[in-house]
């Protein structure tokens, strides 16, 4: 009996949990940092249309919105390589510090270009943080505690998704859009410093990882690491140039479009499965679907609030509530597809989600007619989120079904890359249509109608191509 009482308890008991003394500081710091990261990400987006309007930069809004995605593409690759070679502490800490600084840059903007620069650096920081946080958890916690910590990271986004957008809308409406950025910088500063301190000391029981210093990688490994960084840098540059190019229709802007398009066409296929752009059966189609759907959803989230605030004079708080409704309905639809509809073929749910998104696009088009209430277009955002919540997990499942275990990391990277590319390209095309209409003398609402109508093409294409991604 004595021997049984002396036996060690299994790993993962309450005495050895994420809130145990050795891990308490790291757990609280990670949770607060992730909470504020989510809060900042969700509060800034509905604030941008008002900022662009006040800075006389509505025509350059695609640059402000798109440069964040372009930079995050490179930031993710940079952070991943840095974490692999020297541990996650430095890229994660630098990403958090940059997040604070970029909020200050955006808050003090005197032109739309300064706002765009702030969003670019913010995208770089967000990309670094996104890929580094999981690695940092792996280095700070033993294996049996990592699932709990990752679950807490996901839960840390729940309250920001409910509170962040409408609260930001209230601040914009009652005070100033600059107050949103300054307030977020003040809230994030102290946790960012705490994160740097916590990451400087390894937690007991953490897995061995790269030292927090220069790694002695062999020359061959270093050479192998350079091409992805170069490709990601070229893709980010191409995306940024393309976003700027579609903001006007003179020769100089068309030259930027040509250079940006050449970089995207030249470098993107190196990070994607062969046959992605021609919808080859299986994994290439799944990757293509991720780009088309995320691009459509991102464009709706960017241009619908811009139209509502600048043309329909809708209060920022209403837009914030629409963002919150989108987050809740996305989560609800995702739960439904995973529980109530788990026996339905995944590709059929992708088709259903795409058709729901098609209906949301139709609402956005209808909301551009002056005779209809603005709420018509506002409803496009949560309805589109329902479609995404239904189809997005299914696209991921289909992609992994076509990937052997040793290639699933590569597949996930390709899905993330094409998601970013889809967001950049679809937003650029819609913005090009909008700006072309304005240049031709059309009314702003007429331009938005055509820009939203363009989004019918990717949603209907997804509905038609989903069958090509189904598992055998």
Contact 246, 428 (CB under 8 A): yes
Give me the domain span that covers residue 411: 274-472
Is residue 167 in some structural domain? yes
Burial class (CB in 10 A: 0-12, 13-18, 19+), 373: exposed
Identify the CATH number of the domain in which residue 69 sits: 1.20.1250.20
Predicted confidence at residue 139, as pLDDT, reads: 65
Q: How many CB atoms lie within 10 A of CB 425?
A: 24
The answer to which of 44-53, 64-73, 191-200, 388-397 has the lowest mean pLDDT is 191-200
Give yes or no: residues 197 and 281 share one domain.
Answer: no
Confidence of residue 472 (pLDDT cuts 50, 70, 90): low
Give yes or no: residues 293 and 190 share one domain.
Answer: no
424 or 149, which is more confident = 424
The answer to which of 164-168, 284-288, 348-352 has the lowest mean pLDDT is 164-168
Provide CB contacts within 8 A for 148, sequence distance 6+: 12, 17, 18
Percent of the chain scoring above 70 in pLDDT: 83
Provide CB contacts within 8 A for 443, sequence distance 6+: none
Given 202, 228, 259, which residue is the final one in a domain? Answer: 202
19-67 pLDDT, tens per residue?
A: 777 777 777 777 777 787 777 777 887 888 888 889 988 888 888 888 8
Average pLDDT over residues 250-275: 87
Predicted confidence at residue 242, as pLDDT, reads: 83
Given 202, 221, 238, which residue is the final one in a domain? Answer: 202
149 or 47, which is more confident = 47
This prediction has a pTM of 0.77
Give yes or no: residues 39 and 150 share one domain.
Answer: yes
Is residue 4 in some structural domain? no
Is residue 39 in some structural domain? yes
Give yes or no: residues 139 and 40 share one domain.
Answer: yes
Average pLDDT, the chain: 80
Give yes or no: residues 289 and 438 share one domain.
Answer: yes
Give yes or no: residues 429 and 284 share one domain.
Answer: yes
Given 179, 202, 225, which residue is the final one in a domain? Answer: 202
Give yes or no: residues 303 and 410 share one domain.
Answer: yes
Predicted confidence at residue 248, as pLDDT, reads: 76
Is residue 2 in some structural domain? no
Is residue 210 in some structural domain? no
Give yes or no: residues 309 and 413 share one domain.
Answer: yes
Give yes or no: residues 92 and 176 share one domain.
Answer: yes
Contact 349, 341 (CB under 8 A): yes
Q: How many domains does the chain have?
A: 2
Whether 162 shows a pLDDT value over 90: the answer reads no
Contact 422, 462 (CB under 8 A): no
Of 432, 82, 41, the residue nearest 248 (C-alpha): 432
Is residue 263 in some structural domain? no
Is residue 234 in some structural domain? no
Is residue 268 in some structural domain? no
Predicted confidence at residue 187, as pLDDT, reads: 82
Give yes or no: residues 460 and 348 share one domain.
Answer: yes
In the chain, the N- to C-terminal Cα span, in Å, equals: 55
Give yes or no: residues 44 and 124 share one domain.
Answer: yes
Predicted confidence at residue 225, as pLDDT, reads: 44
């Amino acid at each position: 009996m004595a021997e049984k009482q002396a036996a060690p308890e299994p790993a993962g008991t309450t005495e050895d949990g994420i809130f145990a003394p050795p891990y308490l500081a790291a757990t609280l710091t990670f949770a607060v940092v992730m909470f504020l990261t989510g809060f900042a990400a969700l509060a800034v987006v509905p604030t941008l249309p008002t900022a662009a309007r006040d800075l006389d930069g509505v025509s350059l809004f695609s640059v402000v919105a798109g440069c964040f995605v372009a930079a995050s593409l490179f930031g993710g690759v940079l952070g991943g390589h840095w974490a692999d070679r020297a541990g996650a502490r430095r890229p994660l800490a630098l990403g958090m510090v940059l997040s604070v600084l970029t909020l200050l840059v955006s808050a003090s903007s005197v032109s739309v270009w300064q706002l765009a620069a702030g969003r670019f650096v913010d995208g770089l920081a967000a990309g670094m943080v996104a890929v580094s946080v999981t690695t940092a958890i792996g280095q700070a916690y033993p294996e049996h505690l990592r699932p709990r910590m990752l679950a807490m990271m996901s839960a840390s986004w729940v309250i920001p998704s409910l509170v962040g957008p409408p609260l930001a809308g209230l601040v914009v409406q009652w005070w100033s859009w600059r107050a949103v950025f300054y307030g977020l910088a003040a809230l994030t500063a102290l946790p960012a410093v705490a994160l740097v301190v916590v990451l400087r000391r390894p937690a007991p029981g953490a897995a061995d990882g790269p030292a927090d210093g220069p790694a002695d990688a062999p020359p061959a490994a270093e050479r192998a690491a350079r091409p992805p960084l170069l490709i990601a840098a070229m893709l980010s540059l191409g995306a940024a140039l393309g976003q700027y190019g579609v903001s006007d229709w003179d020769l100089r802007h068309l030259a930027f479009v040509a250079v940006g398009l050449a970089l995207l066409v030249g470098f993107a296929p190196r990070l994607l499965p062969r046959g992605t752009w021609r919808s080859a059966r299986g994994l290439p189609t799944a990757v293509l679907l991720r780009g088309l759907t995320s691009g459509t959803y991102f464009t709706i989230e960017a241009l619908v609030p811009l139209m509502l605030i600048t043309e329909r004079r809708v209060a920022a708080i209403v837009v914030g509530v629409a963002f919150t409704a989108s987050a809740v309905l996305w989560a609800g639809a995702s739960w439904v597809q995973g529980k109530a509809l788990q026996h339905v073929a995944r590709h059929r749910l992708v088709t259903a989600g795409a058709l729901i998104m098609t209906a949301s696009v139709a609402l956005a088009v209808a909301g551009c007619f002056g005779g209809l209430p603005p709420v018509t277009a506002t409803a496009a955002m949560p309805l589109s989120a329902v479609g995404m919540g239904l189809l997005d997990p299914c696209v991921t499942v289909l992609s992994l079904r076509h990937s052997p275990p040793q290639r699933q990391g590569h597949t996930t990277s390709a899905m993330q890359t094409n998601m970013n590319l889809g967001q950049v390209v679809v937003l650029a095309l819609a913005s090009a249509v909008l700006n072309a209409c304005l240049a031709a003398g059309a009314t702003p609402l007429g331009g938005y109608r055509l820009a939203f109508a363009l989004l019918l093409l990717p949603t209907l294409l997804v509905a038609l191509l989903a069958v090509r991604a189904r598992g055998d």
